[in-house]
Chain A
Amino acid sequence: MADLRNNFVGIKSPNPFWLASAPPTDKAYNVERAFKAGWGGVVWKTLGEEGPPVVNVNGPRYGAIWGADRRLLGLNNIELITDRDLYVNLREMKQVKMNWPDRALIASIMVPCEEQAWKAILPLVEETGADGIELNFGCPHGMSERGMGSAVGQVPEYIEMVVRWCKQYTRMPVITKLTPNITDVRKPARAAKAGGTDAVSLINTINSITSVNLDTFSPEPSIDGRGSHGGYCGPAVKPIALNMVAEIARDPETYGLPISGIGGITTWRDAAEFLALGAGNVQVCTAAMTYGFKIVQEMISGLSDWMDAKGHRTLDDICGRAVPNVTDWQYLNLNYVSKARIDQDACIKCGRCHIACEDTSHQAITQFVNGVRHFEVIDEECVGCNLCVNVCPVENCITMEPLAAGTLDKRTGKPVDPNYANWTTHPNNPMARQAAE
C-alpha cells in the first residue's frame, strides 16, 4: 500500500490533497466537512487586514463554460477575499486546527503592500496554530484594482519585498502564491525565492470573460447588465498550470524550490501529473465546487492504486520525475519518427480522423479502400502529427507508433536514423551550433 503522507516545507498532512484558498474554505463549517471527507489540508480563504471586511457583489459571482453533457470545464469567479470579520476567521481557524491536528491548515493572507500591515496580521495568524501562510499575490479581480493580489504578483520587486517582511515577522513557513497573468512565470518565482520564500504555489486564476449574453450583450457573469473579468479555473486551465509548474521546476535559478501545484486538478491522474512535473503537493478547488468534497476519495484511492501498480512507495518516488524530460523545442529529437496506426477492430468508422487530416492536415488517412468505408493511415503522407489521435472518439483506437531505427520512413524515403539529432545542429538552421545536450 503506497504511503501518501505528505511533508511540504515541514507541513505534514496525511495526503497531498489540499483544498485551495477559495470559497470552499471560507469558514469552519465547510473546512470541517472537508476534513471529514478526507482532505489532507486546507488553505483557509484569504484573510484581509483588520477592520470592516470587504464586500462582495450580490449578483452572480461565477461564470462557466461546459463540454458535452454540460460537464463543467472552466469556471470563473469574481468573489473577493473573505468578507467575514478577521477575528471570526481566526477563532474558527484555531478551533479547527485543534479539532484536526493531523491536517494541514494554512492561512492565506492579502493585506496592503505596507510593512506595517503585514507585521500586524502575522502574529494574529500565528496565534491560531496555523501550519503556515500563503501570500495571495494572485487574485486577478477586484483586489488587484486596490493594489493587492495579482497587482503585487505582477511586480517581482514587490513579491520579494513582501516575502522578506513575512520571513522577518513570522516563524511560519511562507508559501508564495503566483499569478499566471504575467509573461514569464519564472520571474516572480525567482523574486519569491530571493525574498526567502519556503515555497511557491501556482497557478492562481486567469483573467477571463466566460461568455457574453447575446440577448443583453453583457459579459457573464452579469451583474445588473455589466460584467468584469474574473479568475478562470477548472479543468480547462490545467495545461497552462502544468507548463508554469514545469517552467519553475526546471529553471536553474529556482530548481528545488518546493511547489504546491494548483490549476484544474480534478482527478488523481491530474494530481499525479502535477507531482511528476515537480509539485510537492496539490491544491484543488473547482473540482470540489463542482462535485463536492467527496471527490478526494477518488483522488486518494486512484493515486494510491496507481503508485501500487507502478511500485512507487512514497510521494518522493514520483515528485519531479517528469521534470528532466521537459526541454526546449530546439532539443527535441528530429530523428524520432512515428506514424499513426488505426486499430480496425476498435474503429467505429465515424470518419473524424479522415476529415481532420484531409481538411486541416496532411491528407494521410483514407476514407474508402476498394470502395468500402475504411480509415487507414497512408504512411507516405503521415507526418505523425497526432491530430487523428486527438479527435478520435474511441480511446486507444488510434495510436502513434514510433518507427524503429533503420526502418524506412515512406514519407521521406529515408531509413530512420538511430542517432539523436536536434535543431541546433540541423543543416537547415542558419544559426546551427553545437547541441547543448
Chain B
Amino acid sequence: MGTTQSGILYGRLPLAEYETNFSDLHPPLDRHEALVASDRCYFCHDAPCMTACPTSIDIPLFIRQISTGNPVGSAKTIFDQNILGGMCARVCPTETLCEQACVRNTAEERPVEIGRLQRYATDVAVMENKQFYARAAATGRRIAVVGAGPAGLACAHRLAVKGHDVVIYDAREKSGGLNEYGIAAYKTVDDFAQKEVDYVLSIGGIEVRHGEALGRDFSLADLTEQYDAVFLGLGLAGVNALRIDGENAEGVDDAVDFIAALRQSKTKADIPVGRRVVVLGGGMTAIDAAVQAKLLGAEEVTICYRRGKEHMNASEFEQDLAASKGVTIRHWLQPKRIAVKDGKVAGIELEYTTLENGKLTTTGETGIIAAEQIFKAIGQTFQASGLGALRMESGRIVVDEEGHTSLAKVWAGGDCVLGGEDLTVSAVAMGRDSAESINRAFAADAPRASAVA
C-alpha cells in the first residue's frame, strides 16, 4: 500500500508498482519482431540514416545482416563504428538522428526502427559475450584517459585495440559516466551500463582507477609527464544555480543527483519524492527527472521552462513521453522566488516571459505553483581544475576536428569540449576519433626501424 501524504516521502507506491513503472521503456524486439522490422529497410545507397549518425554506423548493412539471420555479424558492423552501440541503441534520440533521416518517413511517416534493431543485434553480442577484436601487438605506449564515460571508454577501447596500454581515471565509484549515473532508469534496465563497461573492458589492456579525480588527486601535468598521451573525457560536474530566494531551502534538489540516485537504487522504493513536484528546465534532464518523479508516485509534476516549446532541448518524443506519464509542461515561465515554510519548500513563484526582438524578458505577471520538491535542471557546466595552460573557451576545452587540444600530448572529447552536442553518441565518436588521432601521432613520431647489422 502506498501513500498520498504530503512531504518528500519514499514508498509512495506498492512495491510491485515500482517494478512496473521502471521497466524497459522500449522492450527489446524478439527475433520475429526484429525480422519484420528489418524487412522494412530499403538498403539505401549512401544512406541518409548513416550520414545522420554521429558515429557513422553502417545502418543498412547491419539491418540487412539482421534480416538474413546474422545478428552477430550485425553487432560487429555496429561495434566497428561504435563500441557503445548497445547503450546508444537505448538512449540515442533516434527521432532526431538516424530515424529522422530514414527515407521511409517521406513515404509513410514511419521510419525503420533503427534504434530497436541496433539494440537487438548488440544485445545478442553483449549477452553472449561475442568478442570481435583482438589487440594488436603491444606498442609499449601508455595513455591516460580521464573519465570512464562514453568518450573515455570509446577512446580507451580503440587505443587498446591498437596495442596501446590505457589507464582510465574516474572520480566516481563505477565506470560508465552518464550511462551509469545520468540516464533515466527505464532507458537502461538490468544494469546494462555495467554489463556494457565489462564488455568494452574485456578487450584487455585497460586499467580503471576509480575514486581518482583530476585536480584533486592529480593534475594534467602529472599525466603528461607519466604517459605518452592523455585523453580528457570529463563530464559536466557543475550544476547551474537559480540565484533566487529560497534556493537553499530543504526540498530544492539538483535533477542530476535525483537521476543518479534513482539509477543506483535497486527497487526505487527508497527514493523519496514530493507529492507535488516542479522541475525547472527544458532539456532531457528535466524530462528524465519529471517523468521519474511521476513514476515514483508524485501526484502532480510540472515542468516549467522559461521559453517556448520550440526552444526546448528535449526532443518531441521525450516531451510526448512526459505528457503520456501525466507530467504537465508549462512554457514561458521563469522562476522568481521559492516560497519557503519552516525551512522547507512550499511552492515556487514564477514570472511569465516573452520574446522581445529576440530577447527574453519578463512580462511582470506572476503565478505561484505549490510544491514540496523542486528539481533544478537548468544546465550543467564543465568544472575542472588542474588543467594548467590548456586552452579553454566559454568554459570548455578547445579541440580541433581530431580532438587534439592546445597541448601536444593532450586530446579531449565528450561533454567537456567546446562545440559538442552533449549526446552519448557524439561523445563516443569523439573518443574514438581521438584514439585514431593519438595512434597516428604515435606512428608519425615512431623511430624508424633501425637497420641493425
B73 to chain A, nearest CB (A): 15
B143 to chain A, nearest CB (A): 38
Q: Which residue of A lies closest to B105 (CB)?
A: A348
**Does B104 belong to the interface (CB within 8 Å)?**
yes
**Does A367 belong to the interface (CB within 8 Å)?**
yes
B233 to chain A, nearest CB (A): 34
**Does A101 belong to the interface (CB within 8 Å)?**
no
B49 to chain A, nearest CB (A): 11
A216 to chain B, nearest CB (A): 16
| Cα separation A381 to B104 with both chains bound (whole Å) | 29
- 10 CB contacts below 8 A, A to B, read A69-B36, A70-B36, A348-B106, A348-B107, A349-B44, A350-B44, A351-B44, A373-B46, A373-B48, A394-B107
The size class of the interface chain A forms with chain B is 10 to 19
| Cα separation A402 to B227 with both chains bound (whole Å) | 70
**Does B236 belong to the interface (CB within 8 Å)?**
no
| Chain B residues in 8 Å Cβ range of A354 | 45
| Chain B residues in 8 Å Cβ range of A347 | 106
- Chain B 28-51 per-residue mask, 1 if CB under 8 angstroms from chain A, else 0: 000000011001101111111000
| Chain B residues in 8 Å Cβ range of A187 | none
- Chain B 1-45 per-residue mask, 1 if CB under 8 angstroms from chain A, else 0: 000000000000000000000000000000000011001101111
- Does the CB pair A349–B42 fall under 8 Å? no
**Does A426 belong to the interface (CB within 8 Å)?**
no
**Does A352 belong to the interface (CB within 8 Å)?**
yes
- Does the CB pair A351–B107 fall under 8 Å? no
Which residues in window 45-66 of B have CB below 8 A to A?
45-48
**Does B103 belong to the interface (CB within 8 Å)?**
yes
| Chain B residues in 8 Å Cβ range of A60 | none
- Does the CB pair A393–B39 fall under 8 Å? no
- Does the CB pair A352–B44 fall under 8 Å? yes
Q: With A367-B45, A367-B46, A373-B48 given, is the CB distance from A350 to B39 under 8 Å? A: no
**Does A355 belong to the interface (CB within 8 Å)?**
yes
| Cα separation A348 to B43 with both chains bound (whole Å) | 13
- Does the CB pair A348–B39 fall under 8 Å? no
Contact of A70 among B35, B40, B104, B106 (CB under 8 A): B35
**Does A431 belong to the interface (CB within 8 Å)?**
no
Contact of A348 among B36, B46, B103 (CB under 8 A): B103
| Chain A residues in 8 Å Cβ range of B35 | 70
| Chain B residues in 8 Å Cβ range of A57 | none
B402 to chain A, nearest CB (A): 24
B63 to chain A, nearest CB (A): 12
| Chain A residues in 8 Å Cβ range of B104 | 348
**Does A309 belong to the interface (CB within 8 Å)?**
no
Q: Which residue of A lies closest to B43 (CB)?
A: A352
Which residues in window 362-384 of A have CB below 8 A to B?
367, 373
| Chain B residues in 8 Å Cβ range of A88 | none
| Chain A residues in 8 Å Cβ range of B42 | 350, 352, 393
- Does the CB pair A352–B45 fall under 8 Å? yes
| Cα separation A373 to B44 with both chains bound (whole Å) | 12
Q: Which residue of B lies closest to A67 (CB)?
A: B39
- Does the CB pair B45–A355 fall under 8 Å? yes
Most chain A CB neighbours (cut-off 10 Å) among B35, B36, B103: B103
| Cα separation A394 to B44 with both chains bound (whole Å) | 13
| Cα separation A393 to B48 with both chains bound (whole Å) | 16
**Does A68 belong to the interface (CB within 8 Å)?**
yes
Which residues in window 88-146 of B have CB below 8 A to A?
103-104, 106-107
Which residues in window 58-87 of A have CB below 8 A to B?
68-70
Other than the given A70-B35, A348-B103, A355-B45, 7 more pairs (CB < 8 A) read A349-B103, A349-B106, A352-B44, A354-B45, A355-B46, A373-B46, A394-B107
| Chain A residues in 8 Å Cβ range of B36 | 69-70
Which residues in window 287-302 of B have CB below 8 A to A?
none
| Chain A residues in 8 Å Cβ range of B44 | 349-352
CB-based closest 3 A-B pairs? A351-B45, A355-B45, A348-B106
| Chain B residues in 8 Å Cβ range of A68 | 39-40
| Cα separation A350 to B112 with both chains bound (whole Å) | 13
A287 to chain B, nearest CB (A): 21
| Chain B residues in 8 Å Cβ range of A349 | 44, 48, 103, 106
| Chain B residues in 8 Å Cβ range of A352 | 42-45
| Cα separation A349 to B45 with both chains bound (whole Å) | 9
| Chain B residues in 8 Å Cβ range of A367 | 45-46
A311 to chain B, nearest CB (A): 33
| Chain A residues in 8 Å Cβ range of B103 | 348-350
A361 to chain B, nearest CB (A): 13
| Chain B residues in 8 Å Cβ range of A70 | 35-36
Q: Which residue of B lies closest to A354 (CB)?
A: B45
B56 to chain A, nearest CB (A): 16
| Cα separation A411 to B137 with both chains bound (whole Å) | 56
| Chain B residues in 8 Å Cβ range of A351 | 44-47
| Cα separation A70 to B42 with both chains bound (whole Å) | 16
| Cα separation A394 to B103 with both chains bound (whole Å) | 11
